[in-house]
Amino acid sequence: MTVSSAPGKVYLFGEHAVVYGEPAVPCAVERRATVSVDAREDDRVRVTAPDLSLDGFTVEYGGEGDDRPDVNVAQGLVEAGIAYVAAAVEQARDAADAPSAGFDVTVESDIPLGAGLGSSAAVVVAGIDAATRELGTPLDPEAVAERAYRAEYDVQDGHASRADTFCCAVGGAVRVEGDDCRRIDAPNLPFVVGFDGGAGDTGELVAGVRSLREEYGFAADTVGSIGDLVRRGEAVLAEADPTDDPPESVLAELGRLMNFDHGLLEALGVSSRSLDNMVWSAREAGAHGAKLTGAGGGGCVVALDRTEETETALRFTPECEDAFRAELARGGVRVEEE
């Protein structure tokens, strides 16, 4: 058996715009998905994913000759639930040139699903790492990232950038612009996350921004403005000492840019009332800045605050189901057991 884990991520800035070739700066955070892979004798794949749950279903059973319950959950829903795991298995088979390798796969994760913290990328990255090791063909983190990107691209019908998968694979703060992915230096950023308990559909939200951008020149300009603020943010990060806590002036400037980014994402239609309310709670509590993170539509906001004030304020915000501090994860994918 092989067990690998990979961190989730928050976007300091640049989500959505990164899909159109603008730069983005995601940062890995200490919440992980852990995938265990056991090679099988046959070519079947068995997936156990206790975090995936259904909201409710109807079942009809009994009667003569009735050996299968009739459940009203569409097969498509189950397939969608395991789509990322299935895509990771396909990538591992391809990398190891073992098209009919079978696996027992178990996924465990403390990253909320569909909430902007990169749960899909962490599952795919950890899954590819564990499965390729299990087949005796380990890949370096960059190669895992490349394969994980292809997996997300397939599942999201071409609506994916390399940002999430590269960040989860290599860890730390990264900069992604098109095919160009690299680690960058970053000080200890005091991230606080607020989670509304909900989720957004990444593919749908990305498609929404794409059509706005095609319809309106000013929406395309908005995407370009996100790129401009990311370039500014990178320059601010580059000034800070990466081995230390950042000075107040750096946090203040990063926070101002995060606020700006949230406003532009809101204009592009990917925020929600609960995300906006959490953003305002964080700002009123004295956070340097706050914004939604990831695809949006619902899920998480990220704020910068060294004090306890933002976390406490978020806990008292009705729309907020959970609030926590998220340390920058300096390490990316790693093998836990081999």
Ligand X SMILES: C[C@@](O)(CCO)CC(=O)[O-]
CA 88 to chain centre: 15
Candidate ranges 44-52, 114-122, 267-275, 308-316; the one touching Mg ion (CB under 5 A) = 114-122
Nearest residue to 156 via CA among 295, 27, 11, 51: 295
Question: Does residue 15 bind ligand X (CB under 6 A)?
Answer: yes
CA gap 168, 125 in Å, rounded: 7
Question: Does residue 191 bind ligand ATP (CB under 6 A)?
Answer: no
Catalytic residue chosen out of the listed positions 164, 196, 261, 305: 164
Binding site, annotated residues: 112-122
Candidate ranges 52-60, 126-134, 161-169, 258-266; the one touching ligand X (CB under 6 A) = 161-169
E strand segments, the chain: 2-13, 25-39, 45-48, 59-60, 70-71, 103-109, 173-177, 180-184, 191-195, 289-292, 300-304, 322-326, 334-337
Residue 49 or 333: the one with the smaller Cβ distance to ligand ATP is: 49
CB 302 within 8 A of CB 11: yes
Binding mask of the shown chain, residues 287 to 306, with x at each position contacting ligand X by CB under 6 A:
-------xx-----------
Query: For the residues of 233-299, what is the DSSP string, one character each?
Result: HHHHHHHS-TTSPPPHHHHHHHHHHHHHHHHHHHHTT---HHHHHHHHHHHHTT-SEEEE-TT-SSS
Q: Quote the least distance from Cβ 160 to ligand X, whole Å.
A: 4
| Residues linked to residue 61 through DSSP beta bridges, in sequence order | none
Residue 164 falls in the annotated catalytic set: yes
CA gap 189, 175 in Å, rounded: 16
Binding site, annotated residues for ATP: 112-122
Rule CB under 6 A: which of 35-54 touch ligand ATP? 49, 51-52
Residue 30 or 245: the one with the smaller Cβ distance to Mg ion is: 30
Rule CB under 6 A: which of 81-120 touch ligand ATP? 81, 83-85, 107, 109, 113-120
Question: Does residue 164 bind ligand X (CB under 6 A)?
Answer: yes
225: three-class secondary structure by DSSP? helix
* Residue 19 contact, options ligand X, Mg ion, ligand ATP, none, Cβ 5-8 Å cut-off depending on partner type: ligand X
Site residues (vs Mg ion, CB under 5 A): 120
- Enumerate the active-site residues: 164
Binding site for ligand X (CB under 6 A): 15-16, 18-19, 118, 160-161, 163-164, 202, 206, 294-295
